[in-house]
Amino acid sequence: MLIDCHAHLNFQAYANDRNEVINRCQNMKVINIGSQYPTSRLALELARKNKNMFASVGLHPIHVGGQEYDENEVREKVEMSDEEQLVKIKELLATDKDNRIVAVGETGLDYFHFDSKKQENKKTKKQEEVFLKHIELARGFNKPLMLHCRGAKDNPEEAYRDMLKIINYQLSQPQPKADGHLAQKAGLLQKGMGPWSKPLAEIINNYKIQGMIHCFSSTVDIAQRFINLGFYLGFTGIITFPLRRGSGSSTNAGELVNVVKQTPLNHIFTETDCPYLAPQPVRGQRNEPSYVKYIVEEIAKIKGIGYDEVITAVEENARELFGV
């Protein structure tokens, strides 16, 4: 069965024909990704209504501090603080009795729109703080992370390297024993965020940081570093594009093809990132989960293997990481 491991059918771009789009992907699995509290809530609602849909909930780094508004995402700008949104996202996780939420995020680092060193330092610190809070949530609910990483235009690898530093540091910390549900102990249902200032090692216990780097767009070296840590790489329609320099990426499409070629099948995910990044055969159209077949075809072509072999590998990976 085809799987779109990173979609946004919960976005405003599908407000007028969401049911029709869902009907076109009835015979595949879809993980819809939250980017703010409202889109996270809708992702969970869609997962509860459709047996082959699942949700990930989180606060996207471009929305940390209320940075960006995208009319394709929400009808109007979300007027909630980061702390308020994270409290509500925690509540979604706490009330998900049917395990329709399979990951925490979209979270991570995005330096693409930083326009000054002063702004970069301030926003980078805030993004890192919110990223760590997502790791706490993932630990508390034993979920993998759905990671977003995009570098600055003049230094595209920096965000990936910073993310690796954060993950490596957390993996190196001692894992003390603790009692009870650690998400509850983090105080997220209290007014405010509770004791977020605690060192992360005091909160994380017996949880191996794991997840998927969505829309991977860096080098073979960076890819191997994530794979060595047990992470999976998600590939989008970018791998179908003509050879050219990609925005916010340290690679052109040709170099990214080499990443696909060298990434083991047991670390690959297929995704559309719809409504964005429509594959080359449907370029210029609004993207949707059914177009993930073009990414599967391209991976099979790059690796010189069968279409069904890619599908089977992604199914096994999704079962292993997300439990779907």
End-to-end CA distance of the chain: 11
**pTM recorded for the entire structure:** 0.87
- CB-CB contact of 263 with 233 (8 Å): yes
pLDDT for res 181: 40
- pLDDT single digits (tens) 171-225: 887 654 433 344 443 444 333 344 334 444 444 455 789 999 999 999 999 999 9
Report the Cα 111 to chain-centroid distance in Å: 16
- Strand-by-strand arrangement of the 29-33 sheet: 3-7, 29-33, 53-57, 101-110, 145-150, 211-213, 232-235, 268-270
Superfamily of domain 3-321: Metal-dependent hydrolases (3.20.20.140)
pLDDT for res 242: 87
H helices present in the chain, as ranges: 18-23, 37-49, 82-94, 117-141, 158-172, 182-185, 200-203, 220-228, 253-262, 292-303, 307-321
Structure tokens at 43: 């992702």
pLDDT for res 77: 78
> From the first residue on, what is the mean pLDDT of each consecutive set of 10 residues in the chain (324 residues)?
99 97 98 98 98 98 80 78 97 97 98 68 87 95 97 91 94 55 40 40 63 98 97 98 58 83 98 98 98 99 99 99 98
pLDDT for res 191: 36
Domain ranges of the chain: 3-321
